[in-house]
Chains A and B, each alone.
Chain A
Amino acid sequence: MPLRPYLLLLPAIAAFSLFAAAFVTFMVVSFQTATPGTVLTHGPATFANYSAVIASPLARSTALATLRLAGLMTLLTALLGYPLAYVLARSTSRLLRRLVLFGLIVTFLSGGVTRAYAWLIILGNRGLLNQMLVALGLPTVRLAYNETGVVIGVVHFLLPFFVLTLLAALKNIPLSLEESARNLGASRWRVFWHVVLPLSIPGLVSAASLSFAGALSAFLFPELLGGGRVHMASNVIFETILTDFNLPRVAAMAALFLVLALAALALLGSLERRTAKLWAGATR
């Protein structure tokens, strides 16, 4: 019965077709024209939406801001996440490992909206942090309703994805390699620099790509913590639908942002191969 395996795949194929259909519809719409006063669209096919988006200063500044913010968020996630992943992979203290893991899992379990409001309570202009600063007689800081708040919220959201992805890679590096390096005279720091870091580059790039993709598509945190001042791609797309009501234009905008995101991720991927080679060369 050679049909049998395909039958098993049927649900997956059905689900995938549904996604693909939605995606194709959306691509088709991006080449059409809006019928004024309705949600309907009509032909003939045109590049007008694309050229309009490319010409639009809002779309350009959004693209730049999104790439810049996503890059910053990924960098901060990596800087915070690497030590956490390393502790999870190598610490001999079970208590410490559990604490870190628990902290990460809790962020998974609490919903995004809840977390955004929690951050507002902590970071808001009259939030816990500022109240504490006031109590200590220090000047207050603006941490919410601006980029800082959005970056904090998104980095916190990305951290568990980053850490758990990198953790798998770090666990694959045999402990004996680190011991070998120390035995040959390398301090802990040099073991990290010459052995652990280069061997973790593929995992690091996977984790960073995942985080970068997550940051590019951030919607909730810019919306709730950005105070209307932070324009990332998803928020601008959302606002454009509400204000212009021009579905083809928005579809074209979304398609262009998607291409940009894919290009950025591809770049990151090619970076992996290059760094791995460079590093091996440098360690000679």
Chain B
Amino acid sequence: MSATSGATISRGCRLEIEGLAKNYGDVAAISDVTLTVPPGALITLLGPSGCGKTTLMRSIAGFVSPDRGRIALDGRDLLALPPERRSTAMLFQNYSLFPHMTVAANVGFGLRMHGVRRAEAEPRIAEALRLTRIAELADRHPGQLSGGQQQRVALARALVTRPDILLLDEPFGALDQSLREEVQIELRKLQQSLGITTLVVTHDQLEALTLSDLVAVMNAGRIEQIGPPIEIYDRPNTAFVAKFMGVENLVPVRLGARDGDRMRVAAGSLEALVRLHTTAGVVDSAILAVRADAVEIASPGEPGTVAARIAFATNRGSSALYEVTTDDGQNLQASEDRRGGTLRALGSRVGVRLRGEACCLVTG
């Protein structure tokens, strides 16, 4: 995976999408999608089922014709071109290897279609097989391969043509958990070493966080938020993104006094001083996104805490997850390191406090 000769290096293209929309009858599969992916970056499209991820990807590859908008690679307009002239490489969910050809013939298919002569094609095929670590499978037929091996063949077949952009639709869906993590990391290393602009579709937030330079969270055909994974994780803009990123508590709050870039907020007797990341929109309806680990559990009556009761407790390995109910009726999920001890008893009195610096104001 490490040593890459020049043969397969791709130059990395800038992908620009502007105002893209596609309707199926009266269903808007995607509406007004705009995004830019810098050369060589990996972006994941993250979102629930039916939010338009596949439609967006297939529009880039040319299998869906959008109703409006523009797609360009390094400034060249793509939409006017048929799929075979777009220089996009798409990995299909079922791998779609040609069953009547050997692995080597599958990998060489794109080169043949591009009129690359055999003398030049053969070293490139060998290189692609080596990069994806399947050199020993060259003479087999797809029917004789495991799912993971088929996926490597599909990847080799896609990379060998030196595409401008690599498109992967839920590439790890069919793999079991342990293989999945291994392949994710391997793909990321390969993608980085080749410098190829890549777009991955997934509905697994952990996968998006592991793989990406950029995450675009989609909801009902639109991009809700786009940014580096850490930003999306730490500072979601909307309740939808927060929920999708696994934020356990979305608490409606009253806004209080502003103090520089901080603001005092309150929900009943609970109070917190939170950092303002965006000022847009949060003024009218404010929701505080609070991860379970930002809810601190202390002894009852401790200063600065609100009196509460443990309503539910479960074990999460080294930590415990509690549901606490404050005396004025607020329900919160809170996690706490067990420090090797047992869980707190149900119904026991505690004090809770929000760690404001770990909370985030979002729009509804």
Residues of A within 8 A of B (CB): 174, 176-177, 179-187, 190, 194-195, 198-199, 276, 279-280, 283-284
Q: Distance (Å) between the CB of A205 and the closest chain B CB?
A: 14
Give which listed residue, B82, B102, B104, B161, contacts A184 with CB less than 8 A: B161
Contact with A along B121-158 (1 / 0, CB 8 A): 00000000000000000000000000000000000011
Contact B84 A183 (CB under 8 A): yes
Residues of B within 8 A of A184 (CB): 84, 89, 109-110, 113, 157-158, 161
Contact B100 A190 (CB under 8 A): no
| A138 CA / B36 CA spacing, docked (Å) | 65
| A37 CA / B359 CA spacing, docked (Å) | 110
Contact A183 B88 (CB under 8 A): yes
Residues of A within 8 A of B83 (CB): 179, 182-183
* Number of chain B residues whose Cβ lies closer than 8 Å to a Cβ of chain A: 28
A-B contact pairs, 13 of them (CB 8 A): A174-B94, A177-B96, A179-B83, A179-B92, A180-B96, A181-B98, A182-B83, A183-B62, A183-B83, A183-B84, A187-B82, A195-B98, A283-B105
Contact B161 A185 (CB under 8 A): yes
| A170 CA / B281 CA spacing, docked (Å) | 54
Residues of B within 8 A of A199 (CB): 99-100
What residue of chain B has the Cβ atom nearest to residue A176's Cβ?
A: B96
Tell me, yes or no, whether B358 is within 8 Å of chain A by CB: no
Main DSSP-derived SS at the A contact region: helix
What residue of chain B has the Cβ atom nearest to residue A190's Cβ?
A: B113
Contact with A along B198-235 (1 / 0, CB 8 A): 00000000000000000000000000000000000000
> Which residues in chain B, 58-79, are within 8 Å of chain A measured between CB atoms?
61-63
| A279 CA / B99 CA spacing, docked (Å) | 12
Q: Distance (Å) between the CB of B145 and the closest chain A CB?
A: 16
Q: Distance (Å) between the CB of A149 and the closest chain B CB?
A: 40
Tell me, yes or no, whether B90 is within 8 Å of chain A by CB: yes
Residues of A within 8 A of B114 (CB): 185
| A283 CA / B89 CA spacing, docked (Å) | 21
Tell me, yes or no, whether B101 is within 8 Å of chain A by CB: yes
Residues of B within 8 A of A186 (CB): 84, 109, 113
What residue of chain B has the Cβ atom nearest to residue A199's Cβ?
A: B100
Given contacts A190-B113, A284-B105, contact A182 B100 (CB under 8 A): no
Shortest 9 CB-CB contacts between residues of A and residues of B: A184-B110, A185-B113, A180-B96, A176-B96, A182-B83, A186-B113, A284-B105, A182-B84, A176-B92
| A195 CA / B106 CA spacing, docked (Å) | 11
Given contacts A174-B94, A180-B96, contact A194 B88 (CB under 8 A): no
Q: Distance (Å) between the CB of A186 and the closest chain B CB?
A: 5
Contact B94 A284 (CB under 8 A): no
Contact A284 B104 (CB under 8 A): yes
In the complex, given contacts A182-B62, A185-B110, A284-B102, what are 20 additional A-B residue pairs having Cβ atoms less than 8 angstroms apart? A176-B94, A176-B96, A179-B92, A180-B90, A180-B96, A181-B98, A181-B109, A181-B113, A182-B82, A183-B89, A184-B84, A184-B109, A184-B113, A184-B158, A185-B85, A195-B98, A280-B102, A280-B105, A284-B105, A284-B108
